[in-house]
Amino acid sequence: MKKISVALAVAGLGAATLMTACDSGTTNAKKLSKAEECASLTKECLVGTWAVNGFGVVENGAVTKFPGVFDYSGTPGALVFKEDGSFSYKPPVYSNTASDVDCSASYGTWSVEGATLTMKSSSMCAQGSVTITPTVIVGAIKVDMAFDRMWFLKNESDEQDVRARYVEVFSTSAQ
């Protein structure tokens, strides 16, 4: 009986040592926050849901000057970048295009290379392919992303000066 007890004790000690050795070799990879992922434009930064806030201007490292009628931050749409390279876009609730059957949703593919984002869609309102150099602004509470041109919201205004002065602005939680 003593031999069995000793054998079990040695086996248990060996198993505990083995488990400890295996465990000490693993690392607990901390999940990065969206703010950390967006230190540069990467696939990890983009994947997820971004609120479509409307028109804005990027000045001094911040997004400012939403023109009142084009400020959708109270009822934003959604731009969702999926891990598989597809995206979906739903316009803001009170935007001019929200009730337009051709513009009520857009779908397509996306890829990121360096500082550029390429998107392709067959939607009537975001048709074709566009290469964008977005500005990503990381804050403590949210991450803003401003496209360098109008694409999804280009049909919100037919005024050329509005299209020339403002950019599309999206945001997501920095957490």
Q: Does residue 162 fall inside a structural domain?
A: yes
In tens, the pLDDT along 133-147 reads 999 999 999 999 999
Q: Is the pLDDT of residue 7 over 70?
A: no
Q: For the chain, what's the residue count?
A: 175
What sections of the chain are H helices per DSSP? Answer: 2-24, 34-37, 43-46, 160-165
Alpha-carbon distance of 88 to 82, in angstroms, equals 8
The pLDDT of residue 26: 53
Quick one: how far is CA 83 from the chain centroid?
10
Q: Does residue 14 fall inside a structural domain?
A: no
Q: Does residue 15 fall inside a structural domain?
A: no
**12: buried, middle or exposed (CB in 10 Å: 19+, 13-18, 0-12)?**
exposed
- Give the domain extent around 102: 34-173
pTM above 0.85, yes or no: no
For the residues 150-157, what does the mean pLDDT come to? 83
CA-to-CA separations, 127 to 23, 52, 88, 105, 119, in angstroms, rounded: 52, 18, 13, 12, 10
CATH code, domain with 41:
2.40.128.280
* 147: Cβ contacts below 8 Å, ≥ 6 apart: 132, 134, 167, 168, 169, 170
Yes or no: say if 146 and 56 are a contact pair by the CB < 8 Å rule. yes
Count: domains in the chain: 1
